[in-house]
Amino acid sequence: MSSSPNDPARRRALIGVTAALIALAAGAAPARALSEAEAKALVDQVVADINAIIASGKPEREMYRDFEQIFARYGYVDGIARTVLGPPARRASRAEMQAFTRAFQAYMGRKYGKRFREFIGGRVIVEKARKIKSFYEVTTTAILAGEPPFTVTFMVSDVSGRGLFFDMLIEGISLLKVEKSEIGAMLDRRRGNLARLIEDLERAG
């Protein structure tokens, strides 16, 4: 049975996601705050790398590995992995979190690599950046052949000690919220068995 927007459990889940996003973005402030120019420069480089992969003509598997490298290089992978795993991340051992983070990183490279592969023949253009409390929202426009343009937005913070993106919105849909919901459902189906989830993530995507 699907839950309604007013379902108490759903509201608690949404509140938890919101709190995690705020904590991830705020964190402990570094000595020198990230600037708007630095946030935009990060996304400029992400977009340049994405456009290069799109135009490369590489085989599918190689493209997915390249997209995983973009996620690893420019994304706050440790923070994203902990946020999407939720409370089980606090109970997991260091080795378990490392294994989950590696599996999740590869899974994201395959999953979103397939989505960005749809951009072949198109391009992504960085538009503008604006500060929102302790992080920056950098807006880009994706232009696909024969399709109306749409927005891809990167949320950038230096909570990790350097500028990295901690969320990405494709057509207004939050990567962080989607993955938190999907990873949570996958773990529930495995009765909370993190080892099984890690094994399945290594094969999924």
Per-residue pLDDT of 73-123, as tens digits, reads 999 999 999 999 999 999 999 999 999 999 999 999 888 887 777 777 788
Domain of 14, in residue numbers = 8-203
How far does Cα 46 stand from its chain's mean position? 13
Number of domains making up the chain: 1
- Packed helices 36-56 and 60-74: angle between N→C axes, nearest 10 degrees: 170
According to DSSP, the β-strands at 173-174 and 164-170 are: antiparallel
- pLDDT (tens digit, 9 = 90+) per residue, 146-165? 889 999 999 999 999 999 99
Does residue 115 lie within any of the structural domains?
yes
Does residue 156 lie within any of the structural domains?
yes
Give the global pTM.
0.78
Residue 164 has which token pair?
A: 């990295």
Helix (H) or strand (E) holding 199: helix 194-203
Does residue 1 lie within any of the structural domains?
no
Q: Find the Cα–Cα–Cα–Cα dihedral 158, 181, 10, 5, rounded to 10°.
A: 100
Does residue 2 lie within any of the structural domains?
no
Residue 161 has which token pair?
A: 């000690």
Q: Residues of the chain with pLDDT > 70: what percent? A: 84
Does residue 12 lie within any of the structural domains?
yes
Does residue 114 lie within any of the structural domains?
yes
CATH number for the domain harbouring residue 94: 3.10.450.710
- pLDDT (tens digit, 9 = 90+) per residue, 31-62? 458 999 999 999 999 999 988 988 888 888 89
Q: What is the pLDDT of residue 205?
A: 59
Per the listing, tokens 């604006």 go with 130
Does residue 3 lie within any of the structural domains?
no
Does residue 21 lie within any of the structural domains?
yes
